[in-house]
Structure 1
Amino acid sequence: MRIVAVLGAGKLGEVLLSGLLRAGWSADRLIATARRPERAQELTERYGIRVVDNETALREADVLTIAVKPQDAGTLLEDIGPKVPEDKLVVSLCAGLPTAFFAKYLPEGTPVVRVMTNTPALVDEAMTAISAGSHATADHLAQTEEMFRPLGRTIRVPESQQDAVTALSGSGPAYFYFLVEAMTDAGILLGLPRQVAHDLIVQSAIGSAVMLRESGEHPVKLREAVTSPAGTTINAIRELENHGVRAAFLAALEAARDRAREIASQS
């Protein structure tokens, strides 16, 4: 029975723990660490899992999931790095940090897998990208996929693509929420009550996303199916293009990618 430890069970670590429990993992397969005693008590009361110190987690767990903030990862690894047994799998949830960062602190040959997921994990609809470090094998990737599959979909990518993944899907939910916010304001401007505008937009977003996933059609083809000659939609699309919305998205995602690279360079 493989045991998973979440080291630094903050918001993201809690998402993983709760998702695995919803998927049917027993609480005795999961352990966590937390800096604050009140946080440890909260996790135990909410999920029935054990919250232990770092040394106990290193000894008992088969998989060590690092879920601290990126700026705190160095401090944690300075403490635990020399004590990590070589047969442990280390899974990183630290945005922007390459597996080479972890290799500086861990015993030679320790397998590390880098993971970027996103907040829809809270409703089991995450998109999780998984990348192998230099010592991680296909079996290590499969173990990591087993952990994150209950949270949504998983995909394997080369680690060189992880900064782009961070910009696109890691930060992606925020872009959609921003769009919904803007469209809701537009609906109010057009005379709709806020709740009506919100409900119209959210259901349209859900339906559109399901159509994209289930139909397999290119988004251009689906958009063209809504865009009649000289109709309302093409006039709206023209205004979006006139205001450079497409170019703004390109620039925004490049900025997010560049920030991910900057985080890595500062580590």
Structure 2
Amino acid sequence: MTQTAERVVFLGAGKMGAAMLSGLARAGAPGSVEVIEPHPSIELAALCNAQGFVLCCSPPAGEPPAGTVLLAIKPQMLESVAPTFSALVGPETLVVSILAGKRIADLSARLAAKAFVRAMPNTPAAIGRGITGAFANAETSEAQLEVAQRLLEAAGDVVWVEREELIDAVTAVSGSGPAYVFLLAECLAAAGAAAGLPEDLAAQLARATVSGAGELMHRSPELSPATLRENVTSPGGTTAAALAVLMAQQDGLAPLMASAVAAAKRRAAELSG
């Protein structure tokens, strides 16, 4: 095991952790990378082997604290597993946490570090198209901020917020957001099948439409989503008829999405308990 300040240790590598590791594999890690995952998937093991990342099932005994530790375990596991990896975290360690709902106060109560970055990436990190919202506490140095920026931007764009409580809202919008988009594709496919299309064709059309529209939005940063929507909508046409349903004030997509995001934000707050 490497024993330098450049040592980066991932604690946990489920779907989100693995997505970030995939991003690092493409962009280049800011230091030597070790991954501690009790139940590594075949894909994770192959990735680590191909990239030279050290993969362990448990924290190695007798190792000095790491320069950077990225927490990617399940939030509910923090209380029970913190003692098993506390030796990896010293006063000079930068702790980057992607645990939904777990506040810096929760982490500092269990770990010896002073510098904490609380971040929320999303799963498009696996293809370098993620976005991460992050907050750093006052004890995080400029050098540590640079390390965190390099680590997180391997997964895509990084935005920094000024107040930690905003991370729960970030979690509800972009952290959980890919699932909302995938559900949209599911529902659009089901609606197409209900309209008479063969299921496989409806699924193909829905998938290509959602991914293509997303790519068009990505390549048109000068245009707002509202403008892109208006560009597709002819007055009195088929799209306008559908949007009249989706944009209904009482039971349309906007109030439904607001309720969904609010529920995700509440759950993020509950996870800090």
TM-score, normalised relative to structure 1: 0.87
Matched ranges for 1:11-26 at <5 A? 11-25=15-29
**Distance in structure 2 (CA, Å) of the matches to 1:149 and 1:77:** 26
The equivalent residue for 2:252 is 244
Matches within 5 A, 1:1-267: 2-25=6-29, 29-35=32-38, 39=40, 43-44=44-45, 46-48=47-49, 49-52=53-56, 53-54=58-59, 59=64, 61-81=66-86, 84-107=89-112, 110-158=114-162, 159-215=164-220, 216-242=222-248, 243-264=251-272, 266=273
- Cα deviation, 1:193-251, whole Å, max 9, x if unaligned, reads 22322222222223322332332212222211221111111111112234422111111
Which consecutive segments of 4 or more residues in structure 1 shift more than 3 A? 39-46, 55-58, 78-83
Separation (CA, whole Å) in 1 of partners of 2:41 and 2:15: 13
Q: Conserved in 2, the CA contact under 8 Å of 1:111 and 1:133?
A: yes
Paired residues, what number?
261
- Amino acid of the structure 1 residue aligned with 2:234: S
**Deviations, residues 121-147 of structure 1 (Å, cap 9, x unaligned):** 222211111110231233322211211
After superposition, the Cα gap between the structure-2 partners of 1:129 and 1:100, relative to the gap in structure 1 and judged at 3 Å, is same
Aligned counterparts of 1:57 and 1:245: Cα–Cα separation in 2: 54
CA shift in 2, pair 1:219/1:61, >3 Å: same
The 3 A distance-change label for structure 1 pair 18 and 131 is same
Structure 1 residue runs of 5 or longer lacking an equivalent are: none
Q: Assess, with a 3 A threshold, how the Cα gap between structure 1 residues 42 and 196 changes in structure 2: closer, same or farther.
A: closer
**Separation in 2 of the partners of 1:177 and 1:153?**
20
Higher relative helix content: 1
- State the identity as a percent: 33
3-state SS of 2:247 partner: helix
Select between 129-138 and 39-48 the one with higher mean Cα deviation: 39-48
Tell me: CA distance 1:42–1:232, structure 2 relative to 1, closer, same or farther (3 Å): closer
1:57 positional shift: 8.7
Q: TM-score, normalised by structure 2?
A: 0.85
Name the structure, 1 or 2, with higher relative contact order (CA <8 Å, separation 6+): 2
SS in 1 for 2:101: coil
CA RMSD of aligned residues (A): 2.6
